[in-house]
Amino acid sequence: VDDRGMRWFYTGDVGQFHPDGCLEIIDRKKDIVKLQHGEYVSLGK
Question: Quick check: 44 pLDDT over 80?
Answer: no
Q: Are 12 and 22 in contact (CB under 8 A)?
A: no
Rounded Cα distance, 18 and 22, in Å: 5
Rounded to two decimals, the pTM is 0.53
Q: What is the pLDDT of residues 11-35, one digit of tens each?
A: 888 888 999 999 998 888 888 888 9
Q: State the Cα–Cα distance between residues 45 and 38, nearest whole angstrom.
A: 18
pLDDT at 45: 59
pLDDT of residue 19: 96
Give the pLDDT of residue 22. Answer: 95
Q: CA 42, CA 35: separation in Å to the nearest integer?
A: 10
